[in-house]
Amino acid sequence: MKQAQRGRPGSPARRGSALVFSLVVVTIVAGMAYSLLRITTFTTRRQASSTDDKRAFYVAEAGIAEAYYGLSRGFTGAVGAADQPVVLGDGLVWVEATQTGDEILLRSTGMVGSGRATVEVALESIDVELGIFAEEGIELDVPFLIDGFDSEAEPYEAQARTGTIRIDPLKEHLVDSTNHILYYEGLYYRFQDYTTEVFAYDVFFDPLAHPEYMEKYGAEPVYNSTSLASDSDAWLGTGGTAVLSPEEQMKYGLYAAAEYFSTIPEVKAPAPESDSASSPLGPSTGADGMISSNGDIVLSSDGTPTAVYGDLLHGPESEFSGTGVTVSGSVGALPEQVELDPVQVPGVEMLPGFLHDSALPRVIPSGQIGYESVSVAPGAELVLIGPGAAVFGSLQLQSGSRLTIRNEAGPVDLYVTGVVDLQVGAVIETESEQALDLSLQVVQSFLPVQLYAMSRFHGGIYAPGSEVAVGRDFEVFGYLVSRTLQLEEGVRLHFDSSTSGSLLLPRLLGWKIEEIPVQVRQNRGDPFRIFYGESEEPPEMEESMQSDCWQIEAAEKEFDWNTMKWGDYAEYSGPAKGFEPTEGYWYSIPATGFAEPEVPGKAWFLQVSWNDGKGSSYYGPFRDFGGLQGHIWEWILWYE
């Protein structure tokens, strides 16, 4: 049967030609489809690669921002390392920082998917004392006071001893039954220790200005140190009278005071005495203040003198004019325009916003945390615990609310990316009196930053892109940087010179896209897999900031393992470059990288263990140490 079919005559050559044709067509179509697929795949890959490259670029840029943030917080600017990049968004990044003189070079390499990008930025570190600064000129026609002090030396109160008060009886004030001032011009004066009723009067009180006092206690009363208080328990002294309207009393939340003083007959305030050296706006250190601007500074006052106890610097091509204004220091121009860098907000996960309206205080824990918006209702209290950085989309303290900043255990940096509305009648209390322990940084608010709450704000305010309005109850002990500045009558701003270093914000000189380092250029795989495999966790940004500060403890004398001779301890705490080794056995662990200090005739030895995925260690001469890759766990360095 098969043979019969095979041998059938008639259509020898044409038989199967359609099949051949079909096969050819199919082959051609398949080829075209394959080519198309290749092209599509290639295009997709290119697009993906291009997208990844873009994302890598953004990550590299964000790395620069983190490095910048680190620099402004006293770190070296380096983030992670080439062999240990850190997580940032969907990618990994490391930033190398090189400092030459005042110039800092930051090189950031970002990696996302197959994308790679390297950005290099040159910065200049500038050391400018801005004090109270407004970028676009300052024009004020109300009385205010600016002076300065150094919180590292003594509290403001102690340094303001030279100040005296003249009382204008027509202005709101409060004196006790023995004519001691409790309140005047927005300032509170109180007994040193209300709980023990020790009647030590405030150092600002000038007996010479009060004849009644002189008559009663003599010319040399005992002065004790004291503290100012913005809380209303300061009002519970013995005897007194209030010349405050009910509205004012409500404004300050002085319920108890209002109740108390209403029962006591009014005592006439002491007559004012003229004192040309004193400030009409209350006590002052009389010096060390600073007000500056890139533009003109125009100050005028209608009869009530305005005092700038310190220096005034207007813009390079601008002018100063003052009517009824005392400037005790020098008046001059800034050497060049100060370029304010934008606020660098740390990357934190933003939690949903909230309105806190419970009478129980809400606690924001230490560490880094963010909320889309924060509003505190009347009668409610928000407590921020340091150390930490909080990022708020907006911050509103409604009248009658309270913000307590517990920053004695560590600094609090409060970043607000939108509206700041601290209303009249709200209270802000800062636990630490060191301005470096608190900063309020406002990214850019289209509405003015409203600082009308009652506060003795010991901290820095950095709002370079915003208009800032300060109410008379908001007393700043630190610094204030803004785009424009508006002050209410009677505002008191005290520049804390210990914060001058904190204004050492690096200035951008230039930037460029750099060649991608060869080690990451060649392998375009998933960077997480390349660097950390399946099981290992890459480090987080915060823990990879490289500190420029060492804390070293040492036994100064020689140490012998056999005889165990230990001598006195020595300590060093400060920047690495300032460290000078003394002879001895170094026992503790600097925060990061250690360059062998030179000690003539001595050889350094090192014992170190580190994490390179499996855990390694070295023990031997420092100079024979080949270096390590990974995080150092523990190390001890000594010389013999």
Partner 1 sequence: MNLALAALLAAFPLALPLRAEDPQSGVIGAAIVEALEGDESALDATVVGLGYEAIPVVFGALSASSLPTLDAEGELSAVELSVDQVLLLEAAFTGFPDRDVAAFLRELAQRPLSATERTFAIRELGRVGTRRDLELLTALTLPEGVRGSRSRVPRPYCVGFQRSLASIHTRTPCSSIDVVALYRGVPLDLAAHVIWGLGETDSVSGLVLLVELLGELDDADPLILTEIARLGELLPHPLPEEVGFAVSMYLDAIELELLLLAIRAVEKIEVQNATARLIELTDHEIGPVAKAAVAALRASSGIDRGRGSKHWKEWYAKTQRWWQHEAPGLLRDIERGDDAARSRALLEASKWRFYRHEIAPVVVDTLKSPDQELVVLSCAVLGHLGSWIAVPELIELVGKSDGAVLQAAARALQRITGRDFGSDEEAWSELLRSHT
> Which tokens sit at 406?
């517990």
Tell me: does residue 412 bind partner 1 (CB under 8 A).
no
Per-residue H/E/C for 486-515: EECCCEEEEEEHHHHHHHCCEEEEEEEEEC
Tell me: does residue 542 bind partner 1 (CB under 8 A).
yes
Tell me: does residue 220 bind partner 1 (CB under 8 A).
no
Report the alpha-carbon distance of residue 302 to residue 306 in Å, rounded. 9
Tell me: does residue 348 bind partner 1 (CB under 8 A).
yes
Q: What is the DSSP string of 429-451?
A: EES---GGGEEEEE---SS-EEE
Tell me: does residue 219 bind partner 1 (CB under 8 A).
no
Interface region with partner 1, contact rule CB under 8 A, candidates 70-78, 92-100, 540-548, 575-583: 540-548
Report the alpha-carbon distance of residue 67 to residue 624 in Å, rounded. 32
Tell me: does residue 362 bind partner 1 (CB under 8 A).
yes
Q: What's the min distance (Å) between Cβ of 259 and partner 1? A: 5
Q: What's the min distance (Å) between Cβ of 351 and partner 1? A: 7
Report the alpha-carbon distance of residue 191 to residue 199 in Å, rounded. 6
In the complex with partner 1, the residue whose CB is nearer, 378 or 597, is 378
Residue from 236, 350, 424, 549 that binds partner 1 (CB under 8 A)?
A: 236
- The three-point CA angle 20-24-25 to 5° equals 115
In the complex with partner 1, the residue whose CB is nearer, 34 or 569, is 569
- Of residues 186-205, those binding partner 1 (CB under 8 A): 195, 197, 199
Residue from 81, 97, 257, 438 that binds partner 1 (CB under 8 A)?
A: 257
Residue from 189, 205, 235, 531 that binds partner 1 (CB under 8 A)?
A: 235
Give the three-class secondary structure for 580: coil
Report the alpha-carbon distance of residue 319 to residue 297 in Å, rounded. 6
- Of residues 260-319, those binding partner 1 (CB under 8 A): 260, 263
Residue from 169, 316, 332, 367 that binds partner 1 (CB under 8 A)?
A: 367
Give the closest residue to 205 by CA, choosing from 184, 234, 233, 232: 184
What are the residues whose beta carbons fall under 8 Å from the beta carbon of 242, sequence distance 6 or more?
174, 183, 249, 257, 258, 261, 262
Residue from 99, 125, 162, 178 that binds partner 1 (CB under 8 A)?
A: 178
- Residue 310 burial (C-beta neighbours within 10 Å; 0-12, 13-18, 19+): buried
Q: What's the min distance (Å) between Cβ of 359 and partner 1? A: 3
Length of the chain: 640
Tell me: does residue 177 bind partner 1 (CB under 8 A).
yes
First to last CA, the chain: 103
What are the residues whose beta carbons fall under 8 Å from the beta carbon of 579, sequence distance 6 or more?
550, 552, 572, 597
In the complex with partner 1, the residue whose CB is nearer, 272 or 630, is 630
Interface region with partner 1, contact rule CB under 8 A, candidates 417-425, 515-523, 555-563, 576-584: 555-563
Tell me: does residue 365 bind partner 1 (CB under 8 A).
yes
Report the alpha-carbon distance of residue 250 to residue 236 in Å, rounded. 16
Tell me: does residue 534 bind partner 1 (CB under 8 A).
no
CB distance 401 to 424 below 8 Å: no
Tell me: does residue 233 bind partner 1 (CB under 8 A).
yes
- Residue 64 burial (C-beta neighbours within 10 Å; 0-12, 13-18, 19+): buried
Give the three-class secondary structure for 280: coil
CB distance 379 to 404 below 8 Å: no
Residue with the two structure tokens 């704000």: 457
Tell me: does residue 631 bind partner 1 (CB under 8 A).
yes
Which residues sit opposite 566 in a β-bridge? none
Residue from 381, 413, 421, 473 that binds partner 1 (CB under 8 A)?
A: 381
Q: What's the min distance (Å) between Cβ of 216 and partner 1? A: 8
Q: What's the min distance (Å) between Cβ of 250 and partner 1? A: 12
Query: How many CB atoms neighbour CB 550 within 10 A?
Result: 20
Q: What's the min distance (Å) between Cβ of 171 and partner 1? A: 24
What are the residues whose beta carbons fall under 8 Å from the beta carbon of 418, sequence distance 6 or more?
373, 393, 394, 443, 445
Residue from 409, 424, 504, 549 that binds partner 1 (CB under 8 A)?
A: 409
Residue from 98, 225, 323, 358 that binds partner 1 (CB under 8 A)?
A: 358
Tell me: does residue 349 bind partner 1 (CB under 8 A).
yes
In the complex with partner 1, the residue whose CB is nearer, 393 or 538, is 538
Residues that bind partner 1 (rule: CB under 8 A) add up to a total of 62
CB distance 62 to 114 below 8 Å: no
Residue from 18, 359, 518, 595 that binds partner 1 (CB under 8 A)?
A: 359
Interface region with partner 1, contact rule CB under 8 A, candidates 13-21, 45-53, 251-259, 490-498: 251-259
Interface region with partner 1, contact rule CB under 8 A, candidates 242-250, 315-323, 354-362, 477-485: 354-362
Q: How far is CA 478 from CA 455, 456, 492, in A?
A: 13, 10, 11
Q: What's the min distance (Å) between Cβ of 239 and partner 1? A: 5
Residue ranges binding partner 1 (CB under 8 A): 177-178, 195, 197, 199, 231-233, 235-236, 238-239, 253, 255-257, 259-260, 263, 348-349, 351, 358-369, 379, 381, 383, 385, 409, 535-540, 542-543, 555, 561-569, 611, 615, 631, 633-634
